[in-house]
Amino acid sequence: MKPGQWLIKVRDARPLVHNITNVVVTNVAANALLAIGASPVMAYAHEEVADMAKIAHAVALNMGTLTPDVITAMRLAGMSANTYGVPVVFDPVGVGATPYRNEAAFLITSSIRLNVLRGNAGEIGLMVGSGGQVTGVDSSGASADLPAAMQMYARQHRTVVVATGEEDLVTDGDTLWRLTNGHPLLSTITGSGCSLTGLLGAFVGVVDKDSPLTTYAQAAVAAITCFNVAGERAAQVAYGPGTFQAALFDALYHLTADEVNEAAKIEQMD
């Protein structure tokens, strides 16, 4: 299925995505999901996260602003999602920056079965064991061994692994996709990565639950491509980061399947 067809599928299904995300950009991530055609919900209370995850089409977990309560909420939501066959996307924001973030990432990945592990190149390098550098919550370097390490991790953990940056890498353990759409302005606004994590939830949320892992990988490729093509379109009319963010929401809203398919820069590397 081409990436544009996945966009149509998301808009037809309007999947409910349960986000436990970075509080700095909660509104941004919610608006991005609404613009693409999904339905966001932000629920954090321990008393309801398991119930919300149960009825969602996907759960998107983001470590951007960590507290002990947030970690517990993520684990409760993720375990509930696993019980009811709801896909889980995990974004280990800032892993490697502090021991606390490393511990949190370990607790979450050891207690929840992930469908997609998504981070920047430095974060994913640290998660998959190839090494990387993270300053604060930003990547500052990744190893040349990253693609091979991503594939090995994906095979061992039966999950899709996504590393984003100037180019984006996606693997299901067998196939590696290299994606080269996007624009530098995406890195100048808060919430672009967090929004993408939410969008990944929307796209994997429309995958049939008995589908093989490669189908989830294809949905992830489509989500990233749609987001990056929208970024390219937004940059054409933006004057800087402020107008770019608003233009990005508009571009996501007006994005068409044909536009995505024509602009997609996807290379499959077996």
269 annotated as a binding-site residue: no
CB 199 within 8 A of CB 36: yes
- Is residue 118 part of an annotated ligand binding site? yes
Tell me if 4 is assigned to a ligand binding site: no
Q: According to the 3-state scheme, what is the secondary structure of the chain?
A: CCHHHHHHHHHHHCCEEEEECCHHHHHHHHHHHHHHCCEEEECCCCCCHHHHHHHCCEEEEECCCCCHHHHHHHHHHHHHHHHCCCCEEEECCCECCEHHHHHHHHHHHHHCCCCEEEEEHHHHHHHHCCCEEEECCEEEEECCCHHHHHHHHHHHHCCEEEEECCCEEEECCCCEEEECCCCHHHHHCCCHHHHHHHHHHHHHCCCCCCCCHHHHHHHHHHHHHHHHHHHHHHHCCCCCHHHHHHHHHHHHHHCCHHHHHHHCCEEEEC
Is 1 one of the annotated binding-site residues?
Answer: no
With 0-12 / 13-18 / 19 or more C-beta atoms within 10 angstroms meaning exposed / middle / buried, residue 262 is exposed
What residues form the annotated binding site? 42, 118, 164, 191
Residues that constitute the known binding site for substrate? 42, 191
Which residues contribute to the annotated binding site for ATP?
A: 118, 164
